[in-house]
Amino acid sequence: LPWNPEVVWYASDLYLKGQPFEACSRGILKKQLKAAADLGLRFNLGIETEFFILKQNADGSIVPTSEADNLAKPCYDVRGFLDNYGLLDEIVQAMDGLGWDVYSFDHEDANGQFETDFQYADGLAMADRFTFFRLMLGEIAKKRGYFATFMAKPFADRTGNGAHFNMSMASLETGENLFDSEADANGLKLSKLGYQFVAGVLKHAHAISAVIAPTVNSYKRLVRRGNMSGFTWAPIHVSFGSNNRTNMLRVPLAGGRVECRAVDMSCNPYLAAALMLAAGLEGIRENLDPGKPHGENMYQHSEEELKAMGVSHLPRSLEEAIDAFEADPLTKEVFGPLMAETFAKFKRDEWESYNTHVSQWELDRYLKFF
């Protein structure tokens, strides 16, 4: 460990009685990576990690670590960044020491929120790194009397913690990026293979939501505005397009990759990558077509316009997502019956616990109202 060299952490597969355990998340991803390899493809993945670094006062209040981090619009705030520079530098040095090649670190769009980006890798290596990143960041923050949170939406009036998955396919033989195409008639610089992948993910988007947005809190991030003064820039529709942050799937300006913006930091990266990869591979095998990309602001369409375009909403709650997860045959095919059923039950129990809880908001609103 960078902060404790006497301790070693390593990612491992689960075995039961000498055999690979069916419900091992890492093993589930490996199966899909093999399915891609059987087609001559390597699944490359980069994850944008967003998080808050906060402190808890003696009175129990939760605040940013810096009193200067108080701007109404703090995106790229220099003061908030510099006040946290010592901690952030320790994190970057640790990541680079592990060979992750950090190329971006900035103050994000909320007070106390930051983002770091590091070089993409094959799907398994990136899932391992993402898992370790959360552990490492939490431990380094704790040393300074702070804590890190990866909760999808810890504050109603601030942006949430996304974990945008940037996905591409490379040739196993040559390493060439097979999603890259300068000849794209849509101008997105995305190949036919890339469009097929997009179509597969969109086809299974409702079921995928249960895995990439896996908590009740996740769906408070996937809103147009909520309690914020401006847009959240989180997706709410099953759509794709160009350099447009209101789509679920976005093809950045340089092309050659597909970004899923619905993923949040609370996800299990192995399961999230496995299900999206499986959906994308189905799109490739079946030569699916995602239709025309959306370059417009998807937030501004009426329900009638969305219906005419054939664009559906992403699930609006964990319950809706789990319903879709259980109804989609792909989930059992990818996860296996044991993991699919266990995951669905665990998440449905979580929803029921949340749904039957009487919150302070309800008491404040209704206790003396009638």
- Per-residue pLDDT tens digits for 261-286: 999 999 999 999 999 999 999 999 99
* Direct distance between the N- and C-terminal alpha carbons of the chain, in angstroms, rounded to an integer: 57
Look at residue 190 and give its three-state secondary structure. strand
The structure's pTM equals 0.96
Among residues 272, 358, 286, 362, the alpha carbon closest in space to that of 321 is found at 272
pLDDT at 301: 95
Element spanning 177, H or E: none
Block residue for tokens 């913006």: 261
pLDDT at 227: 66
- Displacement of CA 54 from its chain's centroid (Å): 21
Positions in the chain whose pLDDT score sits under 70? 227-229
- Per-residue pLDDT tens digits for 144-156: 999 999 999 999 9
pLDDT at 232: 87
Residues belonging to the chain: 370
pLDDT at 28: 98
Neighbours of 123 (CB within 10 A): 25
CB 48 within 8 A of CB 117: yes
Distance CA 49, CA 151 (A): 12
Domains and CATH numbers, the chain: 30-41+180-354 (3.30.590.10), 49-161 (3.30.590.10)
pLDDT at 228: 65
- Please name the residue ranges forming H helices in the chain: 25-38, 78-83, 85-97, 123-143, 192-203, 205-212, 218-221, 269-285, 303-309, 318-327, 329-355, 360-366
